[in-house]
């Protein structure tokens, strides 16, 4: 699956960046999945150190969407691992963007899905059925709302109020 380059999107949409309808998230994202980038509408989740809802959502048909997980930037455990990467790929998700950490990096690299996160941690999260789905989540650099278009590649992550051509 192809995705537009974030650099090209920025160059072609400087007016949207200035107006705030296209947001460039803060740098620091690392790519862990078998795909190097993604483009798709966002499904948002806010969950701190509990990935129960991550698993539930990735178990649904992805239909080319991107799961955007606000893990609060926690450095104490991973929110996504190899099993969830396999689930995301099998169910047609374009990508997973985690404001937090992942694990099982070798397994994630073998999955046909893009997975971006801040880093890695070997410990899994707790399972308490916590979290909030389909709400606006604040990431470093901008807010992501359900249905926003999210674009990511080696150069960074963009969030747009509308699909960019």
Give pLDDT tens digits along the chain (165 positions): 579 999 999 999 999 999 999 999 999 999 999 999 999 999 999 999 999 999 999 999 999 999 999 999 999 999 999 999 999 999 999 999 999 999 999 999 999 999 999 999 999 999 999 999 999 999 999 999 999 999 999 999 999 999 997
* Domains held by the chain: number: 1
Q: Is the residue at 8 inside a domain? A: no
Q: Is the residue at 17 inside a domain? A: no
Q: Is the residue at 150 inside a domain? A: yes
Q: Is the residue at 3 inside a domain? A: no
Residue with tokens 């537009």: 4
Q: Are 75 and 101 in contact (CB under 8 A)?
A: yes
Q: Is the residue at 16 inside a domain? A: no
Q: Is the residue at 5 inside a domain? A: no
Give pTM, 2 decimals: 0.97
Return the CATH number at 121.
Answer: 3.50.30.40
Tokens of 32: 């862990």
Q: Is the residue at 10 inside a domain? A: no
- Residues 14, 33: Cα–Cα separation, whole Å: 29
Q: Is the residue at 18 inside a domain? A: no
- Give the domain extent around 151: 25-160
- Residues 113, 91: Cα–Cα separation, whole Å: 10
């Amino acid at each position: 699956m192809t995705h537009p380059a974030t650099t090209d999107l920025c160059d072609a949409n400087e007016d949207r960046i200035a107006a705030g309808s296209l947001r460039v998230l803060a740098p620091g994202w690392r790519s862990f999945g078998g795909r190097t980038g993604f483009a798709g509408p966002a499904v948002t989740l806010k969950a701190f150190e509990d990935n129960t809802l991550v698993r539930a959502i990735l178990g649904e048909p992805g239909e080319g969407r991107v799961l955007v997980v606000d893990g609060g930037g926690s450095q104490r455990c991973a929110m996504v691992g190899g099993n969830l990467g396999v689930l995301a790929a099998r169910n047609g998700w374009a990508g997973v963007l985690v404001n937090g950490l992942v694990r099982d990096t070798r397994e994630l690299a073998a999955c046909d899905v893009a997975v971006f996160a801040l880093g890695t941690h070997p410990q899994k999260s707790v399972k308490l059925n916590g979290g909030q789905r389909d709400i606006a989540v604040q990431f470093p650099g901008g807010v992501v709302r359900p249905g926003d278009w999210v674009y990511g590649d080696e150069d960074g992550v963009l969030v747009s109020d509308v699909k960019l051509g």
